[in-house]
Amino acid sequence: MWFATQDGISRFDGKSYINLNSYNADSKRKILGTDVFDIKPDLTGNYLWVLSAYGGLNKIDLKTCTVFSAYQIKQTVKPDTTLWYKCLSENSSYLIIGTNEGIISRFNKASGKTETSFSLTDKFNCPGQLEDIFIDSYNRIWYFISGMGILITDSTLTKKITIIPSSKINKTPFFFTDYAVSQNRVFITTTTGLGIIDIETMMTVAERNINPGYLSHCNNKELHCISILDGVAVISGKNVLLKIKLATEKIETIQLAGNFEDRSWITLTNSVYADSQSIWLGSQYGVGWIRNINSPFVAYYNSMDGSNTKINHAITICAASDSSIIICGDDGLYNLNPNTSLIKKFSIDDFYYSVFRAAKGFFIASGVSKGMQLFNNQFKPTPITSVFPELEHIKNDLIMCSASLGDSIVFMASQNKNGLYIWNTVTKKIQIISTRTGKVALRNDNINRLFLDSRNQLWVVCENTIALYDYRTNSITHLPLIDPATKQPMSINMDICETSNNYWIASYGTGIVKLSRDFKIQKIYTTNDGIKNLGLYKIFAISDTLLLASSNNGLASININTGKIKNYFAEDGLQSNSFEEASGDRIANTIFAGGINGITKIDISKIAADPNLPKLTFSTISLISQKKIIDTLNIEIKKLVIPQDISQVNINFSAINYLDPEKLKYSYKLIENDKDWNITDKNFIQFFRLRPGTYHLQVQAFNEDGVPSEIKELTLIFLPKWYQTWWFKTLIALSIIAIGYSLYRMRINQLKKEEKIRNQLASDLHDDLGSTLNSVKVYSNLAMMEKENPNHLLKIKEGTQDAIAGVRDLIWVLDDKRDTIQDLFSRISQFAAPLCEANHIEFIQEIDDSLYHHELGKEEKRNIYMILKESVNNSIKYAACQTIELKVTSEGKKLHFSIRDDGKGFDKEKTKEGNGLKNIANRAKEISYKSNITSSAGNGTAILLQKT
């Protein structure tokens, strides 16, 4: 619902407001202009056109409640900002906008520009105050001009079709105030009544000899505004509010409030909106709401004639007729006419406790200080003993309640604990039954209620007991009612009623007790069943399926078949929430119940489940991250994409039920996560970040009767964080595969290298050790054959020593603890130093300090060792040198090994390359080293190894 005000425009969903005005900090809800004078929904139903007093035109998106666009009207007739822009109307292509002074502008909806502007006075000679504009189904433009009448032009705004003068609408001069369209007629409210014009013929109904009966009812009344829905018109005016069924011409005067003072703001109503349930009135005092025009409740507090007659406290009620309700108050006796809402007070003041019908058309009221007062249906007091002398000895007793058997027997209960009076108005005798009357006696004189059932048995409802009295047999029976919860007799019984199969007791503090026909307790309805308050007083059987009970906090109805309980309070239309224990009576299909602030008339035909479904929509949605909050509002939202940085999602929804917005219940279910519906009275849900994926949220609303709304569904798509995306997971999977494959390849290469080393070692063993051992074998055989030749044994010794050295070299290469350059040079020294010393050669080793602990690979270690060993052997055997120098340095991370001697050298060009030099070159290549041998005759030899 949208309200146009002097401070902008407000959207109301039954519970909360969203305000749009010219100073709104949110640019999406900032309108052009402030004082909004007219609003019209766009024909598409998606937008609302909003016109402010000084030419600000705004187009508002109804789904998102945001300003779609804003325009300043550019009229050229009178470029004066003091013009009062007052009204607008539209068709599919343009808006017609008018000012109070009669300046008209045509605004093109597609281009967003003012196409033309002119003065009604200058162009059509129609001066006066322009009140409103209407575009009919023939695209003709109607201008309502106070003081003149109605001007009608064609759609081009250039041709005057006709003028309907004011005199044809009403003989008395008037101002136009509002209009509504129904059944191809324009209904016009004015300050002197109602006018009706046929759209097709542009004639008043009087001119067409049609005169609805309600027109005369509206004559000479100051009417302000009109609303028509489904053939029912609601018209508001100065101190008048009418509901008219146009087809039947039935007129109903709607009572605005039970309090005369509450009517005062209706004198200046500006707008009215009515639907099937309620009426909304806008005035300079604010927004007034008549809760339910079909409500079963009408409250009465003070007289509507302005006499200031008030019913502050209704103690008991007697429904004398449908136009006369007698009310006992704590300050007097009152008579209410519910048809006119007029209240009159009895001339004798007293605290009246009860009132009941006596014989001969008289009524008796029982007062605290002045006893029984007799009066007729004209409220004229009469001395009681002059009509009923038999009441002389009890006339000063205080009567709590009464019941009548036919036209002659009246039962009366004494508030002063004098028992039960049985008055025969024919024999003029009074019988008394109390705790002191012998055989036919009560067990308790504290009587709360008297009730005659369908068998003419009188139920005497006492404080802690209930007695059944049969007048025909003058016998009395006491019911042994035991509370099943406390195992004690039922206490503080207040009232009783009857349905076809059961009796029902209102028991204060216990609940509503269901009795079978043989007086057995079948069930007790309590707060667990939905009764809001157990301070129960009066109870009525509306039908065989429905009960109504009053309490000190509202009313409760019980559906006997379903067990469904509905509670009603002051906001539902009751005079207040506080009723009195004896204050209730029924006549035909109407119940009157009272207490604080008057009485309430209850139309029992309207006490039923509310069939109106709550209209559920999603309202605001907040997406919250560490850095920001994103709010979105789209009442037709279907899907919501939630970015990966959002940590919390708040989803609000509104169930539009203006009658009982606080009594709505909600249920929701996230289909992917919830098996059952979650029930709540909150209109919002909070989600903290869910796992990435698509979810479907379903929400439903229920009114107090459990009537559900349609299910609304919202698709939530939680986007994954970067490390949860498919491409990242794919990348990780590929990386794992690549790493695994790399580790696999590394392992394979390692195994290949180890296999290569094993093969090389096997080859070395086969080539070197095998040949050496084979030589030992040969020399051993020769030594056995030539025992006298000692050289054979010497050869065997040398071969054995070479084999042992080879095995030691092999073991050293395989030792993982000896892989540093220092270990390599130490091993070379163990081999070379003794040989050099034996041959009088100086052996020199030199290592850079930074390379002592530099580790070598297995293959690298083996081949360098074999190269260095081969080089030293060659220098000792062939160079005839004095010095052998072994040195290692580094250039960056690349190692440099050099073996030099100062021997005789050789000429590389003339000397054929032997196996030794080839082995050095091959071994260096295997470990990615570059070998370089330099030598010349007389200059020694140098072998250089450089890591490539």
**pLDDT over threshold 80, residue 776:** no
Q: pLDDT over 70 for what percent of the chain? A: 92
**pLDDT over threshold 60, residue 609:** no
Residue carrying the six token digits 């500006």: 270
**pLDDT over threshold 80, residue 757:** no
Q: Tokens for 519?
A: 């007086």
Q: Tokens for 262?
A: 């509450």
What pLDDT is stored for residue 206 in this prediction?
A: 83
Q: How many alpha carbons lie under 13 Å from residue 378 in its C-beta half-sphere?
A: 2
Burial 357-379 (b: 16+ CB within 10 A, else e): bbbeeebbbbbeeebbbbbeeeb
Indicate the pLDDT class of residue 914, thresholds 50, 70 and 90.
low
Q: Where are the alpha helices (DSSP H) in 353-464?
A: 384-387
Q: Which whole number is the average pLDDT over 161-185?
A: 93
More confident residue, 380 or 140: 140
Neighbouring C-beta atoms of residue 407, cutoff 10 Å: 11
Contact, 577 vs 311, CB < 8 A? no
**Any bridge partners for residue 698, and if so which?**
669, 713
Q: Tokens for 433?
A: 């039954």
**pLDDT over threshold 70, residue 161:** yes
**Short-list 99, 98, 185, CA closest to 136:** 185
Q: Which whole number is the average pLDDT over 889-894?
A: 84
**pLDDT over threshold 90, residue 120:** yes
DSSP 416-446: TS--EEEEETTTTEEEEESTTSTTS--S---
Mean pLDDT of all residues in the chain?
88
CA pair distance 651, 653, nearest whole angstrom: 7
Q: Outline where DSSP puts E strands in 465-535.
A: 466-470, 475-479, 493-498, 503-507, 511-515, 521-525
Q: Which whole number is the average pLDDT over 632-646?
A: 86
CA pair distance 745, 934, nearest whole angstrom: 40
For residue 767, report the phi and psi dihedrals to the nearest 5 degrees.
Answer: -75, -50
pLDDT tens string 390-399:
999 999 999 9
Element (H, E) at 838: helix 821-838
Indicate the pLDDT class of residue 58, thresholds 50, 70 and 90.
very high
Indicate the pLDDT class of residue 339, thresholds 50, 70 and 90.
confident
CA pair distance 253, 271, nearest whole angstrom: 18
More confident residue, 918 or 652: 652
What is the distance in angstroms between the CA of the first residue and the CA of the last residue of the chain? Answer: 86
Give the CA distances from residue 168 to residues 172, 174, 204, 655, in Å, rounded to whole numbers and listed in that order.
Answer: 10, 12, 7, 47
**Any bridge partners for residue 241, and if so which?**
236
**Any bridge partners for residue 594, and if so which?**
599
Q: Tokens for 822?
A: 């220092």
Contact, 655 vs 613, CB < 8 A? no
Neighbouring C-beta atoms of residue 736, cutoff 10 Å: 10
For residue 177, report the phi and psi dihedrals to the nearest 5 degrees.
Answer: -120, -35
What pLDDT is stored for residue 659 in this prediction?
A: 67
**pLDDT over threshold 60, residue 766:** no
Neighbouring C-beta atoms of residue 397, cutoff 10 Å: 17
CA pair distance 861, 814, nearest whole angstrom: 10
What pLDDT is stored for residue 430 in this prediction?
A: 95
CA pair distance 659, 426, nearest whole angstrom: 52
Neighbouring C-beta atoms of residue 90, cutoff 10 Å: 18
Q: Tokens for 489?
A: 């007799």
Q: Tokens for 884?
A: 């052998």
pLDDT tens string 175-201:
999 999 999 999 999 999 999 999 999
Indicate the pLDDT class of residue 610, thresholds 50, 70 and 90.
low
What does DSSP say about strands 113-119 and 103-108: parallel, antiparallel, or unpaired? Answer: antiparallel
**pLDDT over threshold 70, residue 466:** yes
Indicate the pLDDT class of residue 531, thresholds 50, 70 and 90.
very high
SS3 371: strand
Contacts of 366-369 with C-beta under 8 Å, sequence gap 24+, read 366/397, 366/398, 366/399, 366/415, 367/333, 367/398, 368/398
**pLDDT over threshold 70, residue 807:** no
Residues 569/574/577/580 CA torsion (nearest 10 deg):
-140
Residues 577/578/583/589 CA torsion (nearest 10 deg):
0
pLDDT tens string 345-375:
987 889 999 999 998 889 999 999 989 999 9
What pLDDT is stored for residue 772 in this prediction?
A: 63
Indicate the pLDDT class of residue 285, thresholds 50, 70 and 90.
confident
- Classify residue 406 by burial, with Cβ atoms within 10 Å: 0-12, 13-18, 19+: exposed
Of the listed ranges 305-319, 609-623, 675-689, the least confidently predicted one is 609-623
pLDDT tens string 221-247:
999 999 999 999 999 998 889 999 999
**Short-list 480, 464, 394, CA closest to 431:** 394
The pTM of this model reads: 0.68
Give the CA distances from residue 847 to residues 410, 819, 868, 923, 929, in Å, rounded to whole numbers and listed in that order.
Answer: 136, 15, 14, 22, 18
CA pair distance 411, 428, nearest whole angstrom: 13
Burial 579-617 (b: 16+ CB within 10 A, else e): bbbbbbbbeeebbbbbbbbbbbbbebeebeebebbbebb
Burial 104-126 (b: 16+ CB within 10 A, else e): bbbbebeeeebebbbbbeeebeb
Apex 640 CA angle, 638 and 642, nearest 5: 170
Residues in the chain: 948
What pLDDT is stored for residue 657 in this prediction?
A: 74
SS3 744: helix
pLDDT tens string 299-323:
999 888 878 899 999 999 999 998 9
Indicate the pLDDT class of residue 167, thresholds 50, 70 and 90.
very high
DSSP label of 918: H
Q: Tokens for 232?
A: 């029912």
**Short-list 543, 686, 680, CA closest to 606:** 543
**pLDDT over threshold 90, residue 450:** yes
What pLDDT is stored for residue 839 in this prediction?
A: 87
Element (H, E) at 916: helix 915-926
CA pair distance 853, 855, nearest whole angstrom: 6
**Any bridge partners for residue 843, and if so which?**
884
CB under 8 Å to 18, separation ≥6 — which residues?
Answer: 10, 11, 29, 65, 633
Of the listed ranges 376-385, 809-818, 898-907, the least confidently predicted one is 809-818
CA pair distance 569, 600, nearest whole angstrom: 11
Neighbouring C-beta atoms of residue 461, cutoff 10 Å: 22
Neighbouring C-beta atoms of residue 58, cutoff 10 Å: 25
Q: How many alpha carbons lie under 13 Å from residue 620 in its C-beta half-sphere?
A: 14
CA pair distance 845, 840, nearest whole angstrom: 16
Burial 549-578 (b: 16+ CB within 10 A, else e): bbbbbbbbbbbbeeebbbbbbbebbbbbbb
What pLDDT is stored for residue 585 in this prediction?
A: 95
Q: Which whole number is the average pLDDT over 532-538?
A: 94
What pLDDT is stored for residue 175 in this prediction?
A: 95
**pLDDT over threshold 70, residue 558:** yes
SS3 546: strand
pLDDT tens string 473-513:
999 999 988 888 888 888 889 999 999 999 999 999 999 99
